[in-house]
Amino acid sequence: TGLPATAEQTTEPDRRLSDVIPAPAYTSADHRADFRIERHTSIRTQPGSKQAKRIGDYLAGVLRPATGYPLPVNSGRGKEKTISLVLGDADRRAGKQGYELDVGKSRVTVRANTPAGLFAGTQTLRQLLPANIEADRVQRGQHWTVPGGKIVDYPRFAYRGAMLDLARHFHSLDEIKAYLDELAQYKINYLHLHLTDDQGWRIQIDSGPKLTTQGGGPGTGVDGEGPGYLTKADYAELNAYAAARYITIVPEIDMPGHTNAAQSTYAELNCDGVAPPPRTDIEVGYSSLCIDDPLTYRFVEDVIRELAAMTPGPYIHVGGDEAHATTDEDYRTFMRKVIPLAYKYGKIPFGWNEITKAAPPASAVPQYWATTTENADVAEAVKRGNKILMSPANKSYLDMKYDANTRLGLQWAGFIEVKDAYEWDPGNHVTGVPERAVLGVEAPLWSETLRTLDDIEFMAFPRLPAVAELGWSPKASHDWDSFSERLAEQAPRWELRGVDFYRSPQIDWP
Ligand code: TNX
C-alpha cells in the first residue's frame, strides 16, 4: 500500500487547536491527548435535549461521508470512543454563544450553556479535522485525528451577519440554503435578506398579491434577468433551515426609497396616482413612497404585519438608505410613523444609518454602511443609547471588486482585497462609536452583478471569513499573518465542497 511507514507519522494531527476561523479565544494544546475518530466512535448528546440531539445528528451528517463510519448518535455501546455534546455547566466565559471543547485520547467533549454554543463548538471540531473531512466520499487511508487539548471560546460581538440581496437578482431557496451552510461554519449567526428594491419584490404578501407575481415576476431584476420570489412556505422553510444552523433571518423591506418595484405594480402608491415603468437598471435614489398619503401607511402596515407574523427572529429591517427623492423632513415624518409599526408587531427595527436622522428609540439598530469614519448623526444616536451594526462599505461590502480585474462586482466604495476586509477594527472605526456601542458586524452582498451561486461564493470567499473573524475573535488575537495562514487552509475545504472562491495573490494558497 502507499501508506507511510509508521503509525506515529500517520496519526499525527495535521492541524493545531488554534487553526480555526474565527480564531478561538483560548486554546491550550496537549500533544499526548490527540483523539482519533475510528470506525466504532459514537456520538452522545445531552439526555433529554432535542436540540442537542439535532446538533449531534448534524455533526454525524458532516462526518459520515468522508469517514464512511456509522457514527451512531446515542446508540453506542458505551466502551467506544465518544464525541459528547453536553448542555449546561460550561465555563462562565462561554456565555450564551460560546463553548468549551476538551479533546482527550478517548473522548471529545463539547460543552456549552446553550444549544447555539454547542453548535458553534461542533463547527470548531469540524475545522480541527483534516481538510478531507469535507469530501463527499470515503477517504481510504486517512486518519481522522483531532489535536489534543482544550479550547474556551466565545464571541467578541453578539451579532455576526451576512446580507444577501435578492432584489437585484433573485437567488433561489436552494442557493440561499447553500450559502447558509457555509455561513454556519464561520459562526455567522444572522442572515439579513434584502427582499425588496427598485428592481424587484421578493417576498409574498397576501394583502398585495401583485407585489410578487408582477413586482417579482418575469422580466424583473437587473437587465430583466433576475425574476423570482419567496412564497410564505419558502420563507418558513428557509427560517427553519437557518434555525437548524443557529442563524436568525433578518428580513428587509427597503423604504421610503428603493421602492420602484412596489410603485410600478400599484399605481396608488404614487403621489400622482401614475405607476412608473418597471426598472431594470442599477440607478439608485429616484423613487419615494408618497409621504403624505394615509394609504402609504396602510400599505406599509400590511406588509410589516404579515412579515412580522412569518418571521421568528426579533428583528425587521426597514431600510431607509439613499432616499434622495424624499426630503429630509418627509424622511423623518415617514420613519417616525414606520419605526413604531415594527414595535407594534413585536419586532425591533433595523435601518441603514440614515435612520439616525429620525432619532429612533434606543433599541432600534442603525446599520453603518458609510465609507467615512466620522458621522455626526450616528455619534448622536450612540449618545441616545443606540447600538450600531458595523458594515462600512469600503471594508465589509462583499460586492466590491477585489481589484481592477475582478470580473464581477462594483467599485464605488473602492477595491477591497482580503487584507482590506480584515484590517479594520469594528470597535474603533467611527468616531463616537466605541466598542460597547457596537452590536456587531455584517458583510453585505448586493447582487447587481451576481446571478449564480458561484458568483455569490466568488465574492464572499475569502472575504466573508475575514469579517466573521472580526466579529467573533478577541481583538487581542487580531493578526494578519496568523489569519492568512489559517485562511489558506480553508481552500482545500472549499474545493471539496465545490465552493467557488477568489485566489487572492495576498494569500499563500496550498
Ligand atoms: C448602495 S449600501 C446601496 C445599494 C446598492 C449598493 C451597491 C446601501 C445601503 N445601498 O442600494 O446595491 O450600494 O454596492
Q: How far is 345 from 353, CA to CA, in rounded Å?
A: 22
* Residues 417/402, Cβ–Cβ less than 8 Å: yes
In a domain, residue 506? The reply is: no
Q: Whose Cα sits closest to atom 6 in ligand 1?
A: 446
Do the Cβ atoms of 461 and 503 come closer than 8 Å?
no
Q: Which of 15, 59, 237 is closest to 148 using CA atoms?
A: 15
Which stretches of the chain score pLDDT less than 70?
Answer: 1-11
321 lines ligand 1 (CB under 6 A): yes
Helix H, strand E, coil C: the string for 198-253 is CCEECECCCCCCHHHHCCCCCCCCHHHCCCCCECHHHHHHHHHHHHCCCCEEEEEE
| 320 and 409 co-located in one domain | yes
- Amino acid 231 reads T
- Of 387, 382, 412, 415, give the one whose Cα is nearest residue 401: 415
Mark whether 324 and 376 lie in a shared domain: yes
Which residue's CA lies nearest to atom 5 of ligand 1? 446
Ligand 1 pocket check: which of 166, 253, 321 to mutate, most ligand atoms within 8 Å of Cβ? 321
How many other C-beta atoms lie within 10 A of the C-beta of residue 107? 15
Burial-class residue 52 by CB neighbours within 10 Å (0-12, 13-18, 19+). Answer: buried
Same domain, 127 and 232: no
Give the structural domain span for 299.
Answer: 159-479
Q: What is the largest CA-CA distance in the chain?
A: 82
pLDDT cut 90: percent of the chain above it = 96
Q: Are 149 and 163 within one domain?
A: no
Same domain, 175 and 301: yes
pLDDT at residue number 224: 97
Whether 399 is in the pocket of ligand 1, judged by its Cβ within 6 Å, is yes
CA distance 441 to 435: 11
Task: Give the span between the Cα atoms of 82 and 421, in whole angstroms.
Answer: 39
pLDDT for position 2 = 41
Whole-number Å distance between alpha carbons of 289 and 267:
11
Q: Is residue 410 in contact with ligand 1, taking CB distance under 6 Å?
A: yes
- What CATH number is associated with residue 33? 3.30.379.10
- For residue 105, list its beta bridge partners: none
Crossing angle of helices 173-185 and 232-243, rounded to 10°: 20
Q: Whose CA is nearest to atom 11 of ligand 1?
A: 284
Cα separation of 149 and 171, whole Å? 42
> Is 322 among the residues known to form the active site?
yes
Give the distance (Å) from ligand 1 centre to CA of residue 367.
12
Q: What's the length of the chain?
A: 510
CA 401 to ligand 1 center in whole angstroms: 14
Nearest Cα neighbor of 456 from 220, 166, 159 is: 166
Give, for 37, the enclosing helix (H) or strand (E): strand 35-37
Ligand 1 in reach of 446 Cβ (< 6 A): yes
- 433 CA to centre of own chain: 22
Position in ligand 1 atom list of the atom nearest CA 412: 14
Tell me the C-alpha distance between 222 and 399, whole Å.
15
325 lines ligand 1 (CB under 6 A): no
**Closest protein CA for atom 13 of ligand 1:** 446
387 and 265 fall within a common domain: yes
Of 153, 175, 202, the one marking the end of a domain is 153
Closest ligand 1 atom number to CA of residue 399: 14
pLDDT at 14: 79
State the sign of the Cα–Cα–Cα–Cα dihedral 48, 51, 52, 54. positive
278 preceded by cis ω (within 30°)? no
Catalytic residue among 12, 322, 423, 489: 322
d(C-alpha 234, C-alpha 204), whole Å: 9
The pLDDT value recorded for residue 11 is 65
Question: Do 78 and 127 share a domain, yes or no?
Answer: yes
Q: What's residue 290's pLDDT?
A: 98
Q: Are 145 and 7 in contact (CB under 8 A)?
A: no
Question: Do both 132 and 163 map to the same domain?
Answer: no
What integer pLDDT is reported at residue 90 of this predicted model? 94
* 254 and 359 assigned to the same domain: yes
Phi, psi of 161, deg, nearest 5: -120, 165
Q: Are residues 352 and 214 in the same domain?
A: yes
Last residue of some domain: 153, 180, 205? 153
Give the chain's domain count.
2
- Ligand 1 and 286: CB distance under 6 A: no
With respect to residue 265, please indicate whether it lies within any of the assigned structural domains: yes
Question: Is the shortest distance between the CB of 442 and ligand 1 below 6 Å?
Answer: no
324/328 Cα distance (integer angstroms) = 9
Which run of H or E residues covers position 190?
strand 190-194
Q: For residue 510, is it within any domain?
A: no
Q: What is the pLDDT of residue 77?
A: 79
Q: Which long-range contacts (CB under 8 A, 24 or more apart) does 268-276 make?
A: 268/295, 269/295, 269/296, 269/299
Task: State the ipTM, two decimals.
Answer: 0.92
Q: Is 84 exposed, middle or buried (0-12, 13-18, 19+ CB in 10 A)?
A: middle
Same domain, yes or no: 287 and 205: yes
Q: How far apart are CA 26 and CA 474, in angstroms?
A: 9
Same domain, 303 and 380: yes
For ligand 1, the distance from its centroid to the CA atom of residue 446, given in whole angstroms, is 7
On whether residue 485 sits in a domain, the answer given is: no
Residue of 222, 284, 355, 401 to test ligand 1 pocket, by largest number of atoms within 8 Å of CB: 284
Atom 2 of ligand 1, residue of closest alpha carbon: 369
- How many whole angstroms separate alpha carbon 77 and alpha carbon 86? 18
Place of cell 442557493: 175
Pick from 451, 395, 485: nearest CA to 166: 451
